[in-house]
């Protein structure tokens, strides 16, 4: 059935939601205890070793038990991971090598991948997290927020929101190996016909990244009636995707042109306690007094880059330096500023600066969309794309994959 086209979006109620287009979504991970994640891997090993040595009440205190998890809880191994599945207090097993995750938008950290330590690890995400997968993560909605509505990552995201209610995590593919795109049945065929050209799942994600905007109902994703406008948006979205993937999936790592790349002009002190920005010199200052570190040039767009109203560089720094409220295992942290944090900070500045430079192009695209004919939710409904069937909103079954359950039992999924 051909899609009906309406002029304009007909208000927010006429614009498709990301939930219409990518129907399978997963709630954010719930670790239950902050010590299982850290900006550095060495701290996680020290925390594990201390917990293993502790016994009885002391181990339970350090563990920070919840209704879902305690040292006496058995749990299945996470998909793709080989870990002990019995009670931690009885047999901790070997230390699981930490995995790199995206802790909220733009902050890459480490996680101990042991389901006995995690209140809600979302194993359905781990089953599809492979070298082909890309995750779209909705950000928490904050009124009057002008930041991006979602971000993308090749890492396993925890879905943490810096402010507002956490959004949903939407894998691009429902099965490992980049099979079965997480798109409403019939959507690709409809867009193929509408734009008179093949539309790939990655193109839908790229378009979404370029034009999505937040709303109380979720991410809004306007779809143009014009194939030329679609192609321009996809091209812009592919660049946004490349920057956020940071070299994953065969792409190039983000780099600013020569002369504009940030460098460490003054060494970062061992324990920087403050962060400030000098807009006149485009310099980021870490620490206080004559011994403060200095990075420049740092474009204002990188410093002002916010998600859900929160400045990303400030949040990144605070998570690595704040001491208030840290106790027990979480207090085990690097004594001094690790060199790898400096490298990560330079890359984050680069990513945010380049994303900031693309914002005018995104705004111009959104303005053109508002003035052009659009494929509305009513058009998707008339074509049978909306609402998506219930099966499209559930994880796909993996019938040939064995996973170790609690206490060493095996399950066929």
Q: What is the pLDDT of residues 323-337, one digit of tens each?
A: 877 889 999 999 999
Q: What is the pTM of this model?
A: 0.93
Q: What is the percentage of the chain residues whose pLDDT exceeds 90? A: 84
Q: Distance between CA 252 and CA 84 in Å, rounded?
A: 38
Q: What does pLDDT average to over the chain?
A: 92
pLDDT grade for 136, boundaries at 50, 70 and 90? very high
Contacts for 290 with CB less than 8 Å, ≥ 6 apart: none
Per-residue pLDDT for 317 more than 50?
Answer: yes
3-state secondary structure 250-292: HCCCCCCCCCCCCEEEECCCCCCCCEEEECCCCEEEECCHHHC
Side-chain-side CA neighbours of 300 within 13 Å: the count stands at 4
Q: Distance between CA 226 and CA 221 in Å, rounded?
A: 15
Contact 354, 254 (CB under 8 A): yes
pLDDT grade for 249, boundaries at 50, 70 and 90? confident
Q: Distance between CA 21 and CA 204 in Å, rounded?
A: 9
Q: Which residue has the tokens 């509305």?
A: 376
Residue 375, classified by CB atoms within 10 Å of its CB into exposed (0-12), middle (13-18) or buried (19+), is: buried
Q: Give the N- to C-terminal CA distance of the chain in Å, as an integer.
A: 36
pLDDT digits 0-9 by tens, 264-314: 999 999 999 999 999 999 999 999 988 999 999 999 999 999 999 999 999
pLDDT digits 0-9 by tens, 382-408: 999 999 999 999 999 865 555 666 655
């Amino acid at each position: 059935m051909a899609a009906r086209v309406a002029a304009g979006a007909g208000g927010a109620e006429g614009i498709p939601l990301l939930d219409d287009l990518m129907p399978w979504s997963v709630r954010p991970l719930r670790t239950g205890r902050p010590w299982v994640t850290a900006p550095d891997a060495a701290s996680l090993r020290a925390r594990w070793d201390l917990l293993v040595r502790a016994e009885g009440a002391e181990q339970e205190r350090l563990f920070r038990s919840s209704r879902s998890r305690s040292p006496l809880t058995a749990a299945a191994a996470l998909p793709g991971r080989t870990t002990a599945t019995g009670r931690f207090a009885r047999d901790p097993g070997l230390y699981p090598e930490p995995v790199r995750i995206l802790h909220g938008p733009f902050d890459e950290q480490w996680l101990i991948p042991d389901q006995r330590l995690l209140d809600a690890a979302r194993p359905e995400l781990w089953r599809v997290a492979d070298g082909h997968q890309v995750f779209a993560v909705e950000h928490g909605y904050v009124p009057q927020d002008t930041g991006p509505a979602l971000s993308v990552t090749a890492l396993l995201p925890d879905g943490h929101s810096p402010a507002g209610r956490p959004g949903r995590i939407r894998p691009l593919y429902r099965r490992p190996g980049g099979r079965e795109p997480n798109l409403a049945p019939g959507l690709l065929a409809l867009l193929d016909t509408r734009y008179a050209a093949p539309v790939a799942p990655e193109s839908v994600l790229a378009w979404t990244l370029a034009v999505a905007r937040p709303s109380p109902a979720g991410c809004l994703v306007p779809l143009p009636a014009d194939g030329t406008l679609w192609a321009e948006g996809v091209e812009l979205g592919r660049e946004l995707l490349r920057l956020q993937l940071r070299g994953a999936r065969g792409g190039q790592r983000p780099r600013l042109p020569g002369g504009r790349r940030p460098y460490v002009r003054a060494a970062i002190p061992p324990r920087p306690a403050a962060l400030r920005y000098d807009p006149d010199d485009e310099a980021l200052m870490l620490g206080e007094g004559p011994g403060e570190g200095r990075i420049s040039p740092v474009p204002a767009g990188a410093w002002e880059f916010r998600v859900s109203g929160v400045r990303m560089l400030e949040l990144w720094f605070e998570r690595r330096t704040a001491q208030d409220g840290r106790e027990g295992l979480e207090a085990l942290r690097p004594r001094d500023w690790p060199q790898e944090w400096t490298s990560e900070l330079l890359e984050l500045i680069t990513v945010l600066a380049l994303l900031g430079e693309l914002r005018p192009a995104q705004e111009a695209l959104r303005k053109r969309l508002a003035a052009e004919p659009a494929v509305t939710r009513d058009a998707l409904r008339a074509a049978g794309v909306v609402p998506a069937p219930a099966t499209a909103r559930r994880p796909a079954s993996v019938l040939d994959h064995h996973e170790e359950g609690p206490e060493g039992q095996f399950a066929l999924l």
